[in-house]
Amino acid sequence: MSRKPKKGYYVRGEFVAEGSELDLELKRELKGTDEASRTDLKRESTELQKLGEVLLTLRASLFEALPLGEKLSDAVLEAKRITNFEGKRRQMQFIGKLMRKLDEPTLDAVRNALTEQNSTPAAETAALHEAERWRDRLIADDDALGGWIETHVGTDAQQLRALVRQARKDMKVGPAGEAPRQSKAYRDVFQLVRQQLAVHGGGDHAAAAAAQELEDDA
């Protein structure tokens, strides 16, 4: 009567019987590998979650240049508006899931944007913020637009007015009171303002006075 064959498997040409010491050792190694994989995945997920949080801190000019896609861009903008703790936590989890769908070049672009922001001198950062504030004023207020053209004689008034009109049209197709962050006109107004502020050394006295007047009226 033939013996019943042992159950098992082969590893590198060697038969490993189920339940043997070698079988148990191999299973322990395999379990360790699985644990390591889960640890790596958790570490990667945590990194992407933190990278998603970084998107909320990037200044507008860097954020708008990133190829994130409409869904992720909108999710980040929505997270900025949410003030409820639990609501923001859920939104950040959603952003983390979207981050996992990004390819490596896009993730590198986000990391590079963070590096650029952290390495930008304070004076340049202040100038960029000033350009962002003026861009928003010009799009929102005709008085600010007229004042800018009067105090920055080097500005192409016709071009600026056309860009502002287009940016305002773009606002009507997006959320109320908000220009779409991916709008070309919105970005072009920023670039034009930034160039003029650079020419004037970050803004002349008349522009600063006009800005203060607008703030006092607000």
The mean pLDDT of the chain is 77
Q: What domain range is 35 assigned to?
A: 25-119
Residue 78 lies in a domain: yes
- The reply to whether 115 and 31 lie within a common domain is yes
Beta strands in the chain (DSSP E): 8-11, 14-17
Which pLDDT score is estimated for 40? 58
pTM of the model: 0.43
Residue 156 lies in a domain: yes
- The reply to whether 107 and 175 lie within a common domain is no
Residue 63 lies in a domain: yes
The token pair at 116 is 């650029």
- The reply to whether 74 and 98 lie within a common domain is yes
End of a domain among 119, 141, 166? 119
Which pLDDT score is estimated for 163? 93
The token pair at 105 is 């070049």
Residue 7 lies in a domain: no
Give the mean pLDDT of 144-169: 90
Q: What is the pLDDT of residues 24-54, one digit of tens each?
A: 776 766 665 454 456 555 666 678 878 888 8
Q: What is the torsion angle, in degrees rounded to the nearest 10, for the CA atoms of residue 147, residue 150, residue 151 and residue 153?
A: 140
Q: What is the torsion angle, in degrees rounded to the nearest 10, for the CA atoms of residue 153, residue 203, residue 80 and residue 108?
A: 90
- The reply to whether 100 and 50 lie within a common domain is yes
The amino acid at 21:
E
Residue 16 lies in a domain: no
- The reply to whether 137 and 200 lie within a common domain is yes
- The reply to whether 151 and 177 lie within a common domain is yes
CA gap 183, 76 in Å, rounded: 16
Q: Count the domains in the chain.
A: 2
213, HSE (Cβ side, Cα atoms, 13 Å): 11
Q: What is the pLDDT of residues 175-200, one digit of tens each?
A: 555 555 557 888 899 999 988 888 76
CATH number, residue 94: 1.10.60.30
End of a domain among 119, 153, 176? 119
Contact 113/172 with Cβ under 8 angstroms?
no
pLDDT band at 213 (very low <50, low <70, confident <90, very high): very low
Find the range with the poorest average confidence among 35-39, 75-79, 105-109.
Answer: 35-39
Residue 8 lies in a domain: no
What CA–CA distances, in Å, run from 27 to 19, 21, 32, 215?
Answer: 10, 10, 8, 69
